Structure 1
Amino acid sequence: MDFSLFYFDGDGSVAQPDKYRLLVESAKFADRHNFTALWIPERHFHAFGGLYPNPSVVNAALAMATERVQLRAGSVVLPLHHPVRIAEEWAVVDNLSNGRVAIAFASGWTMDEFILSREPHTHRKQTMWRGIKALQQLWRGQSVEYADASGRTVEAKILPKPIQSELPIWITCQSPETFMEAGKMGANVLTSLLGGTLEEVEPKIKLYRQYLEKSGHDPNSKKVTLMVHTFLGEETEQVKEKVQQPFCHYLKTHYDLLENLAKGMGLNVSLKNFSEDDLDSLLLFGVEGFMKGRSLIGTPQTCIPFIERLEQAGINEVACLIDFVQDFDAVMESLPYLQKLQEAVNLSSGFGVRS
């Protein structure tokens, strides 16, 4: 099981120094302690998450601060950009990092973000698949034809030449159809439990492995990466105390996650009609269940069974989302416990050792 760090939040609305301190210091920790990768998202027009409008820019900085860990986008929203621009930017980061970049691609979510796109929101899936193919060609040094403003055909190639001959690719997946398409093209996949339980995701992973094999790809050579909210400590109750309030606040600022939480509790209601007190009651009642079934929150010892369950489901990388807790000292103090979990998992053959 590979362990990586995933970033998603951070208040970008306030003009203050050290906004990226947690990112940089935790990245250095991951680099020193044999974590596999760092995942930087692309998020636009969010106060929380406003630290990450461009993962290539952030990873260019991390290339200078790290030496070994892979630098990934989680995810580039491909329909918002021209494939040539994406290929050029990431070729620069590949050179700065001496060949350590990888990209997860997504088709996009909110309509607001598509003010940046030349393509309509309704065509975003087709635009993503078409763009990935073009980007792979550009990365290999091939030319791709595009029309300029006058309609004249131009053959585009990119510079600088990347260090890696092939760009490692993930597809951000939630629907069965996207898992199938990722399998057909031989890409790795990035998914989460934000929209459902592990039991709901597991059949999609099996479907993905089936389509890998049908399409002539080695199903055992590809990664299924699961993004998981993560915070570890010495004692479970202390961890819960530290995490509960930040987690409640996190869910309140991510309305879609809050609605999924309500549905998971069997509440077929519109949260728009909830009062502030109702929302607080919902969160206090439901957040512990979310922690247990969909997160790595606890101690290294208590989290091992969940890791074992993920492995049984066909997941071979955990992308640990750490910045939902907006407390630099607390998160940095939790990382050595995550390191202990990683070591316990990977040193215990087949999870035979639980101590």
Structure 2
Amino acid sequence: MRFDLMHVLVNRGRTRPWDELLDETRERVELADELGFDGIWLGEHHFDGEGNDQLPNPVLMHADLAARTQRIRLGIAAIGLPLWHPVRLAEDLAMLDHFSKGRVDVAFSRGILAGEIMNLNPEADRRNEEQSREIFQENLDIVKKAWTEDPFRHRGKRYTLPWPKVGWGGKAMADYEDENGHLTGLPVIPKPVQSPMPPIYAVSQTESGWRHAAQNGMGAISSHPTGKKLANLNAAYDEEAATYGRPAHFAKVGPAVREFSVAETEAEARADIYHFVVDRFEVIKRVRGLGAWLDIDEDPEDPKLQAMDGFDLMMERDYLFVGTPDSVAERMIKMHRERGWEHFMLALGQASPEAIERSMRLMAEEVIPRVRREVGDVTVEAAGAAR
């Protein structure tokens, strides 16, 4: 089984100096490495004046963390792929793979918020679904080819690489030039340490997104689907993978992000994370509607659901691992046995530094060992490299 953490640079109200967020991130990741968590994931967000996640460049952040850690895998979920030049991104991620000696996992998305997308690449506007997907696919193809092909070349709707009738000069690039001295391919340097590439994922909450991931040999990560909705995403992935002659999803249930808080008592665990959970519940409800938190057979207009406390609603639908070591372990074991969960992505909620450290230690030292003992240590195959 695999147990990862997800960390966000939360700065609600922008009351904290940003360098404090960096130091906090470093401290938590160093502790996670020490405690034996399998991976740490960061996301990409821009212009976040509200302070929900203030990290514009997770690649650069992980370059810093690579030098401070020894074994923990460094995940990004997600990079807004249409917001980057794909060759530059391939180069940066390959460098990160070298800095970390092959510990990189990366998930891609089309971007979420219009304010991010439109101010960095208005052509990728998600209101134009066909064009948005077209840009994502071409950028993804370029990243994968840049990692695996030498010479690298690409002819697409938006990128022509190398540019026609451009030379390099001298003899160093002779193997990449034609008889007229024009480049016919490019050496993208460096290639990643992991061969043929780092494990790659897509972040999506929709069936079409999971099917697209299967088509491209990527894993899939979700955050909001639960119950039947999440099971249907995995079934759609497996169906699409079979159509393309690819393996079923490498985990019976794809990694799904869940907040956690572990303490000596149920009340203490709830109190430590309650306000953060409710705030996040309200943010997602505002952006995506209550339905984002519900299962497929639940009506978001139901007055009882509308009036329900956000924490209680999330707890009932298995969005939270909150409680004592015993109760959290039992919930994880149940989800593995009944729903096939093998890869847990555990989000660090916002609490006091003392509460966060205590929760991490209890999860690593008491919860995870018990889960592994009782269900067996099922190895999760990485995506990407095996496909």
TM-score (norm 1): 0.85
Given that residues 60 and 93 in structure 1 are in contact (C-alpha distance below 8 angstroms), is that contact kept between their aligned partners in structure 2? Answer: yes
1:334 pairs, out of 355, 359, 362, with 359
Distance 1:21 1:214, change over 3 A: same
Q: Distance in 2 between matches of 1:161 and 1:291?
A: 43
Q: Give 1:213 deviation, angstroms.
A: 3.4
- 4+ residue segments displaced more than 6 Å: 148-154, 261-265
Letter paired with 1:321: A
SS class of match (1:297): strand
Q: Deviations over 1:44-67 (max 9, x none)?
A: 121324431111011101101111
1:216 pairs, out of 245, 248, 260, with 245
Matches within 5 A, 1:236-315: 236-254=266-284, 255-256=286-287, 259-260=290-291, 266=299, 268=301, 282=307, 285-293=309-317, 294-311=319-336, 312-315=338-341
Matched with 1:181 is 212
Given that residues 136 and 167 in structure 1 are in contact (C-alpha distance below 8 angstroms), is that contact kept between their aligned partners in structure 2? Answer: no
Given that residues 8 and 53 in structure 2 are in contact (C-alpha distance below 8 angstroms), is that contact kept between their aligned partners in structure 1? Answer: no
Would you say 1:233 and 2:263 are equivalent positions?
yes
Given that residues 258 and 321 in structure 2 are in contact (C-alpha distance below 8 angstroms), is that contact kept between their aligned partners in structure 1? Answer: yes
SS class of match (1:31): helix
Letter paired with 1:320: L
What residue ranges of structure 1 are gaps of 5+ in the alignment? 271-280
Would you say 1:11 and 2:11 are equivalent positions?
yes
Would you say 1:172 and 2:208 are equivalent positions?
no
Distance 1:72 1:159, change over 3 A: same
Matched with 2:106 is 103
SS class of match (1:65): coil
Letter paired with 1:204: L
Q: Give 1:263 deviation, angstroms.
A: 6.6
After TM superposition, the structure 1 stretch with the greater mean CA deviation from structure 2, 326-335 or 244-253, is: 244-253
Q: Distance in 2 between matches of 1:300 and 1:126?
A: 46
After TM superposition, the structure 1 stretch with the greater mean CA deviation from structure 2, 14-23 or 54-63, is: 14-23
SS class of match (2:312): helix
After TM superposition, the structure 1 stretch with the greater mean CA deviation from structure 2, 225-234 or 18-27, is: 18-27
Given that residues 247 and 287 in structure 1 are in contact (C-alpha distance below 8 angstroms), is that contact kept between their aligned partners in structure 2? Answer: yes
Matched with 2:172 is none
2:123 pairs, out of 97, 119, 122, with 119
Would you say 1:320 and 2:346 are equivalent positions?
yes
Matched with 2:373 is 347
2:138 pairs, out of 110, 130, 133, with 130
Q: Distance in 1 between matches of 2:289 and 2:325?
A: 27
Structure exhibiting the larger radius of gyration computed from Cα positions:
2
Q: Distance in 2 between matches of 1:156 and 1:306?
A: 51
Q: Give 1:266 deviation, angstroms.
A: 4.9
Q: Give 1:233 deviation, angstroms.
A: 1.1
Matched with 1:31 is 33
Q: Distance in 2 between matches of 1:309 and 1:152?
A: 61
Distance 1:25 1:286, change over 3 A: same
Distance 1:257 1:176, change over 3 A: closer
Distance 1:34 1:214, change over 3 A: farther
Distance 1:128 1:148, change over 3 A: closer
Q: Distance in 2 between matches of 1:199 and 1:305?
A: 21
Q: Deviations over 1:255-313 (max 9, x none)?
A: 3367347877855399xxxxxxxxxx957x23222123211111222123432343343
SS class of match (2:272): helix
Matched with 1:144 is 153
Question: Please, what is the CA RMSD of the aligned residues?
Answer: 2.9
Given that residues 39 and 73 in structure 1 are in contact (C-alpha distance below 8 angstroms), is that contact kept between their aligned partners in structure 2? Answer: yes
Distance 1:147 1:212, change over 3 A: closer
The count of residues paired between Structure 1 and Structure 2 equals 337
SS class of match (1:19): helix
Q: Deviations over 1:142-173 (max 9, x none)?
A: 31334489986774442223212222101112
Q: Distance in 2 between matches of 1:220 and 1:82?
A: 29
Q: Give 1:90 deviation, angstroms.
A: 0.8
SS class of match (1:238): helix
Distance 1:256 1:310, change over 3 A: farther
Given that residues 141 and 161 in structure 1 are in contact (C-alpha distance below 8 angstroms), is that contact kept between their aligned partners in structure 2? Answer: no
Letter paired with 2:280: Y
SS class of match (1:73): strand
Distance 1:92 1:300, change over 3 A: same
Identity of aligned residues (%): 20
After TM superposition, the structure 1 stretch with the greater mean CA deviation from structure 2, 261-270 or 47-56, is: 261-270
Given that residues 185 and 215 in structure 1 are in contact (C-alpha distance below 8 angstroms), is that contact kept between their aligned partners in structure 2? Answer: no
Q: Give 1:234 deviation, angstroms.
A: 1.3
Given that residues 108 and 124 in structure 1 are in contact (C-alpha distance below 8 angstroms), is that contact kept between their aligned partners in structure 2? Answer: no
What residue ranges of structure 2 are gaps of 5+ in the alignment? 167-182, 378-387
TM-score (norm 2): 0.78
